[in-house]
Chains A and B, each alone.
Chain A
C-alpha cells in the first residue's frame, strides 16, 4: 500500500454489490435462497422498498447501512432502495476516491448489509452457510485485486466442522485476505458448538497463526444475545439506539478477560487479536483488573503463567475513533497496540472529516506516537509494506 496521507482505518465496512452472491452461487442449487436485493412491502410505511433477503429472511430496516455518506448527516437516513446507495459504498474504485476525499490511505474491511453476526449460520444449513461465506470472501478479495488500499477480513463457516473453517481460512489467505472476523463466543448463537476456549477451536487458531491472520472481534462480537440489559418499551427509537450502543465497552471488558485466562494466547503466542469499534476506555480496566486478580489469587499457580498485562501487550490490539479520555491514558495501554478507525460508512463514522476529528482527539500526542496509532501499527499488523 502506498502511503500518501499517513492514515489507515483499521475498521471500515465493505458493502458488497447487489450481485455479489447471485453471480457466485449456483442458481440451480440455491435458487431464491441466495442473498440478493428484492422488493418488499414495508410494514410501517406501506411503501414498496428494497431489502436484502437471505434464505427467505428479509434483513434489517434498510438496504445498506451507510448513513454517513447520505446527503444530510443530521437526519441519519438509511437508504430504502438500492438506487439510493452511493457507489462510494459498494464500488471499489468510487470508494477509493472517497478515501482520497477523506485523506485516508487504506481501510481494513469488516462486513456490511446483509451479513449479521459475522456469518451465515442463521439458516442452520452448513452447506448453504459455506456457499455464502465463500461467495462473500471471494467477492471481497476482488476489492483487493482492484486496489491494494483495501485490506479484506474473511468470514468463517461455523456449522460444517472445524476442518471446513480451517480450509476456508487457508483459501482466504491465498486470495488476499489479511485476517478473520469472528464471534466472541460462537456457542451463544450456535448452541451445538463447543465454548471458544475448548480445544475444538485450536486448529483454527493454528491456521490463523500460520497465515499471520489476526482474529477480529467487532463491537459486541455477537455477545449481545448472551448479555444485555432488558429492553424497555418506554424508550424512543433514538434512546433505544443509545441504550444498545453506549454499553459496547462492556463486551470486551467481559470477554477479553476470558481470552486472557483461556490459555489461547499462551498456546498461540503468534496469534494477534483485534477488538474493533469498542474504543479504548475499557482497556485500563481489563489490564489493571486482570493483573490485580492474577496477583491476589496467584493465578500463575493455576494455569495462567504470564502476567495478563504482558499477554495484552504482546497479542491484543484495540481500535478507537472519537475518544480523548482513552488517548489521554494511552501510555498505560501502549501506543504500539492502538489503531485508528473511521467506521466508514456507519453512523458513528468520522467521514468526511477524519483529520479534523484526529486533530482534536490526538491533540498533544507526539508525532512518533501519532504515526504509530494512525498508520504504522496497522501496516505492521496487516503486512501492508
Chain B
C-alpha cells in the first residue's frame, strides 16, 4: 500500500485497543478467582462499568471511544453502545483505512493506558494471570488478524523476575514493545524505578530490541486533578492537557536515573507526550545539569544528547515543534492518531498532518510518519499490504 513515491504512509504509534467484555472471564479460572476477574457489572441506574479486582478504573464509561461518539464529550455507558471499531479488529482496520493510517501501535484501555490498572492488583498471581491474558488476547485477536497492528505487551509489576519471563514469552509470541507505568512504586510496594533491581528488565528489553513505552497519564502522582466544579467535557479536556505535561516528570527522572547509561541500546518511547515542551525541557536540563555540575558525577552525555540517542516523543496536533524541532530532533519524533480518545486526529488525520507538516521536507515527513517508527518497531512496508 505504501509505494514510497506519491504518498508517504502513516504509522500511528499510539492508539488504544479496547479489551472486550469476555477477555479475562474467558481466560482466567472462575473457580480460582471468582468476582476478582476483570469484568463488566451493571449498576442500579442501568449503566455498566468495569470492575478489576473490586476497583473501577477511572473511565467515563464502559469503554474509551469518544472519537467515535456523536458527541466527543461522551463515552458509551453500556457495552451495547460501544462502537465496533473500538474492540473489533476488522472494523478497526476499516476506521484506519478511512483515515489513511497504515499501521497502528497498540496500548490498552481497561488495563490502564500504561498497564497501571492491572499493576495495582495486589495478588501477584492474579496480576500475572491478567497480564498474560491481555498479552495473549492481543496476539490471538489483533496481531493475528493483520500485520498492520503492532502489539505491545504489559508486564507484571509485582516481581522483576516475573516481568522478565513475561517479556521473553510475549516477544516470542510477537509483541514489539513493552508498556510500563512511569511510577510503578505508586501502584504497589516495589522498589523505586531508578533502583538497580530493575536492571534485568532493562537488559531484557535491550537484548530483545523492544522499546520500553511510557504512556502519559499512567502516573497519578504527576497529574493535577481536575477541579470538581468542571463540567465533564471541560474536566476531560483538562485531563487531556495534564496527561502529556505530566510526561515532563517521567522523562526528567529517566534522564537523571542513569538507566540509559547502563543500557545504551535501550530505546524509550514517551507516548501521548505531545511535542510542545520537549525542546525547552532539554535546553533547561542541559543548563541545569551544567549548573548543578552533574557532568562531574558520572553523566558523560548532556541530557539532550542522551535523549537523542535513546528517546522518542510523540505528537498529533503539534505545529510549532515540527517547524523548529530544536534539541528534540526530527529523528526522535513519532506521529500518532491517539485513536479513539477525544483528542484524536481521527477521522481528519491527513488534514491535521497537512497543517502540522506544512513546509517540512519530504525526508523529514517520511521520518516522522514512517521511518522512525518502522525502525523502532521493525515494520516492513512490504509485509503489511
Segment touching A, from B42-50, B52-60, B281-289: B281-289
Given known contacts A281-B279, A297-B73, A297-B236, A250 and B249 CB-to-CB distance under 8 angstroms: yes
Q: Assess whether A299 is in contact with B324, with CB atoms less than 8 Å apart.
A: no
CB-CB < 8 A to A198: which residues of B? 229
Q: Assess whether B276 is in contact with A197, with CB atoms less than 8 Å apart.
A: no
How distant is A181 from chain B, measured CB to nearest CB, in Å? 20
CB-CB < 8 A to B293: which residues of A? 238
Chain A 177-202 near chain B by CB (<8 Å), digits 1 or 0: 00000000100000000010110000
- Prevailing SS type, chain B contact patch: helix
Segment touching B, from A8-16, A104-112, A282-290: A282-290
Q: Assess whether A227 is in contact with B224, with CB atoms less than 8 Å apart.
A: yes
Q: How far is the CA of A235 from the CA of B192 in the complex (A)?
A: 12
Partner of B294, one of A185, A238, A247, A284: A238
Q: Assess whether A280 is in contact with B280, with CB atoms less than 8 Å apart.
A: yes
Segment touching A, from B18-26, B87-95, B122-130, B250-258: B250-258
- Chain A interface residue number, banded: 35 or more
Chain A contact residues, CB within 8 Å of chain B? 185, 195, 197-198, 223, 226-230, 232-236, 238-239, 241-243, 245-250, 253-255, 257-258, 261-262, 279-290, 292-294, 296-299, 301-304, 322-326, 328-329, 332, 347-348
In the complex, whether B291 has a CB less than 8 A from a CB of chain A is yes
Given known contacts A250-B249, A253-B245, A329-B324, A245 and B283 CB-to-CB distance under 8 angstroms: no
Given known contacts A242-B294, A285-B276, A228 and B320 CB-to-CB distance under 8 angstroms: no
How distant is B244 from chain A, measured CB to nearest CB, in Å? 7
Q: Assess whether B280 is in contact with A293, with CB atoms less than 8 Å apart.
A: no
Specify the chain A residue showing the minimal Cβ separation from B293: A238
Q: Assess whether B73 is in contact with A302, with CB atoms less than 8 Å apart.
A: yes
Chain B contact residues, CB within 8 Å of chain A? 72-73, 183, 185-186, 192, 194-195, 221-224, 226-231, 233-234, 236-238, 240-242, 244-246, 248-250, 252-253, 256-257, 274-277, 279-281, 283-285, 287-289, 291-294, 297, 303, 317-321, 324, 326-327, 342-344
Q: How far is the CA of A255 from the CA of B279 in the complex (A)?
A: 20
How distant is A146 from chain B, measured CB to nearest CB, in Å? 32
Partner of A297, one of B228, B233, B274: B233
Q: List 17 A-B contacts (CB under 8 A).
A: A227-B222, A228-B221, A229-B249, A229-B252, A238-B293, A246-B256, A249-B281, A249-B284, A250-B245, A258-B238, A292-B317, A293-B237, A293-B342, A296-B342, A297-B73, A325-B283, A348-B291
CB-CB < 8 A to B229: which residues of A? 195, 197-198
